[in-house]
Amino acid sequence: MNLTERRENYRAILAGDKCVHPGSVFDPISARAAQDVGFEIGMFAGSIASGTVLGAPDLIVLTLSEFAQQIHRICRASTISLMVDADHGYGNALNVRRTVEELESAGVSCLTIEDTLLPLSFGAGGEGALISLDEGIGKMKAALSGRQDPSLVVAGRTSALRVGGVEEAIRRVKAYQDVGVDAVFLAGAQTRAEIEAVNAEAKIPLLLGGAGGELADLEFLGANGVRVALQGHLPFQAAVKAVYDTLKALRDGVAPADLRDSLASAELMGQLTRRGDYDQWIADYLK
């Protein structure tokens, strides 16, 4: 895997003046699909990893090793620049450092470390909270110290817009950029005014989660420092529905032949499994 080239491609997007949507991926086939249709970046979220690997909700029950293993499979099978949501780094600042080491080795181009208090503590009642700014700074420092390839993008992530408001978000963005992170992911942004206020104080690129509503305008986002804006994780949801509906139809007695119009064609399966490459290797090495 030529990981440096992928990471440099991601950095080129950060250094540009446009905002792009990443393709949400969850396994080797979906990553190849995103690559083949032209996405510059793949996004593998912690929530989708939990669903893919464990069949569990996004409650931080996935382990670092399970996350890294799936990332390695995705990066081995594709050449797309992969960004991942590494949640809180799976513990304190020491765990964050270890997380960066593992995910860099697995092949990511960009990872985000967030300042949310995770996992949910006893009595929290499901409400989100932020760790202290000092602890957040310590985590960002640890993340940067764990990086070995300087082309890897290490981004801070904060939910301060929703938990503490614009002023708190600006305070944290400025603190994390002073530590040296390459970008900051803003979770929970909803209005143009929020983006404009944060960008006015930020000196590094912004990443955005859930860019919908008035934040669906890529031209506006690009002009206000946002370089990557998520669109949710529809491919995984679509895949789950397709599997469920197909199995239910078969169980209900629908003939397999009647489902062919909803299935991937042989040509598409051959494309995404890279059958042509294997046929060539068979010709080169087994004949």
pLDDT of amino acid 124: 73
Nearest Cα to 74, choosing from 9, 41, 25, 113? 25
Question: Cα(first)–Cα(last) distance of the chain, in Å?
Answer: 27
Q: Is 258 exposed, middle or buried (0-12, 13-18, 19+ CB in 10 A)?
A: exposed
Could you tell me the two tokens for 138? Answer: 């310590």
Q: Where are the domains of the chain?
A: 3-233, 239-285
Q: How far is 168 from 173, CA to CA, in rounded Å?
A: 9
Helix count and strand count (H, E) for the chain: 13, 8
Per-residue pLDDT tens listing for the chain (287 residues):
789 999 999 999 999 999 999 999 999 999 999 999 999 999 999 999 999 999 999 999 999 999 999 999 999 999 999 999 999 999 999 999 999 999 999 999 999 999 999 998 887 766 679 999 999 999 999 999 999 999 999 999 999 999 999 999 999 999 999 999 999 999 999 999 999 999 999 999 999 997 788 999 999 999 999 999 999 999 999 999 999 999 999 999 999 999 999 999 999 999 999 999 999 999 999 99
CA atoms within 13 A on the CB side of 28: 10
Q: Which amino acid would we find at residue 254?
A: V
Could you tell me the two tokens for 193? Answer: 């005014």
Please state which CATH number belongs to domain 3-233.
3.20.20.60
Query: pLDDT tens for residues 128-144?
Result: 799 999 999 999 999 99
Sign of the C-alpha dihedral computed for residues 269, 72, 205 and 211 taken in this order = positive
Q: How far is 118 from 87, CA to CA, in rounded Å?
A: 8
Q: How far is 164 from 178, CA to CA, in rounded Å?
A: 20
Q: How far is 240 from 232, CA to CA, in rounded Å?
A: 15
State the Cα angle at 198 between 194 and 200, rounded to 5°: 120
Q: How far is 96 from 157, CA to CA, in rounded Å?
A: 13
H helical segments located in the chain: 3-15, 28-37, 46-49, 64-77, 93-106, 133-146, 160-163, 166-179, 192-201, 218-223, 234-251, 266-272, 275-285
Query: pLDDT tens for residues 175-188?
Result: 999 999 999 999 99
Residues 31/80, Cβ–Cβ less than 8 Å: yes
